Amino acid sequence: MKNLKITLLSILLLLPALLFAQDFHFTPKSATKVRVATIPGKIILESHTGKDIIISSSRINHDEDDVKDKEGLQLINGAGVQDNTGTGVNITETDGVVIIRGASQKSEGDIKILIPEKMNLLVTSKGWIANNIKINGFKSEIEIKSEYAHVSLSNVTGPIVLNATYGHVKAVFDKVNQEKPISMIATYGTLDVSLPADTKADLQLESDYGSIYTDFQIAMDKTIDDDNMELLKKKDVVGKINSGGVKIHLKSPYKNVYVRKRK
C-alpha cells in the first residue's frame, strides 16, 4: 500500500510536466464565418462572447528528447499546411472566412476552439483521422459535412444543415430557430435529436431500413384506414408538432431516427 501511494504521488507530481497545454488567440479582421476543416482526433467547438478565436490543445509528452528536437520548429504537411498556432493546426483568414485545419494526420491531442457567438460555422471533416466532433452553444448557422466522425451538438438553435456518412449523430436543441429549415442526414449512423417540448415544426422523418421513434404527438398529414393498407408500408413520417412551424427534415436510411422531447 505504501509503495502504491508513493507511485500515485509520483504520477501526480509528474503530470504538470507531462501535460502540455497552450492557447492561441486569433482576431478576425472582417470574417463572418469560420470553416473548420479536417483535424485528427477529437475537436470541441464552442461559442463564446469574446471577439477572438481561441484554440487550445492538450497532449502528453512522453519523450523529453522528442520535445527538445521540435523546439523552435513548426509542423508542416505535404500540402504545405503549416502549424502556425503551436496547437497542431493552421489558421488563416481570406475572403471573409477564417479557415482552421489540421497540419498532420497524427492527433496532437484534443483540440478545443472557442468561436465568437455571432459567427456562422462550417465543419468539413474527411477521412477516418477525425473521430469525434463536439459542438456546443451556437445560435448562428451551422453546416456540417462529416465522413467518419461521430457528431454531437448541444445547446444549439439552428438553422443546421448536416450530412454525416458513417458517424452517429446526436443533437440537443436549446430552442429551434423558426427562420430557416433544419436538415440532418446520418447515412449509416443513428440520428438522435432532442427538441424543446413546445417546438413548432413541420416534420419529415425518414428511415428506409431502420425505424422511427418519438414521444411527440405528431399530427400526420395522411391517415391510415382499413382500405388504404399501402400506407402501412411507407416508413416516412410527415406531420406537424404543436400546429406546425419551421421545416425539420431528419433522415437515417440504414439506422434508427429518434426524436425526443428535451428533458
Would you place residue 52 in the very low, low, confident or very high pLDDT band (cuts 50, 70, 90)?
very high
pLDDT value at residue 155: 97
Q: Per-residue pLDDT for 226 more than 80?
A: no
Residues 193-202 have a mean pLDDT of 98
**The domain containing residue 39 runs over which residues?**
18-261
CATH of the domain at 47: 2.160.20
pLDDT value at residue 260: 98
Would you place residue 80 in the very low, low, confident or very high pLDDT band (cuts 50, 70, 90)?
low
Q: Report yes or no on 7 lying in a domain.
A: no
Would you place residue 141 in the very low, low, confident or very high pLDDT band (cuts 50, 70, 90)?
very high
Residues 95-123 have a mean pLDDT of 91
Q: Report yes or no on 154 lying in a domain.
A: yes
Closest CA to 88 of 69, 109, 70: 109
Q: Report yes or no on 210 lying in a domain.
A: yes
Higher pLDDT: 228 or 136? It is 136
Q: Report yes or no on 1 lying in a domain.
A: no
Residues 6+ apart with CB under 8 A from 142: 120, 121, 122, 123, 135, 153, 156, 158, 159, 160, 161, 162
pLDDT value at residue 66: 53
Q: Report yes or no on 39 lying in a domain.
A: yes
pLDDT value at residue 16: 43
Q: Report yes or no on 138 lying in a domain.
A: yes
Max avg pLDDT among 14-28, 81-95, 167-181: 167-181
Q: Per-residue pLDDT for 233 more than 60?
A: no
Q: Report yes or no on 156 lying in a domain.
A: yes
Task: Identify residue 235 by its one-letter amino acid code.
Answer: K
Q: Report yes or no on 236 lying in a domain.
A: yes
Model confidence pLDDT, tens digit, residues 171-187: 999 999 999 999 999 99
pLDDT value at residue 127: 86
Q: Per-residue pLDDT for 227 more than 60?
A: no
Q: Per-residue pLDDT for 12 more than 60?
A: no
Return the minimum-mean-pLDDT range out of 3-12, 64-73, 123-132, 167-176: 3-12
Instruction: Please tell me the distance from the alpha carbon of residue 102 to that of residue 111, in angstroms, as a whole number.
Output: 10
Max avg pLDDT among 2-11, 125-134, 242-251: 242-251
Q: Do the Cβ atoms of 239 and 221 come closer than 8 Å?
A: yes
Return the minimum-mean-pLDDT range out of 106-115, 145-154, 203-212, 217-226: 217-226
Residues 252-261 have a mean pLDDT of 97
Measured CA to CA in angstroms, residue 172 lies from 8, 99, 189, 209 at distances of 39, 26, 17, 24
Q: Per-residue pLDDT for 243 more than 90?
A: yes
Domain count, the chain: 1
Alpha helices in the chain (DSSP H): 2-18, 64-70
Q: Per-residue pLDDT for 189 more than 50?
A: yes
Residues 111-137 have a mean pLDDT of 94
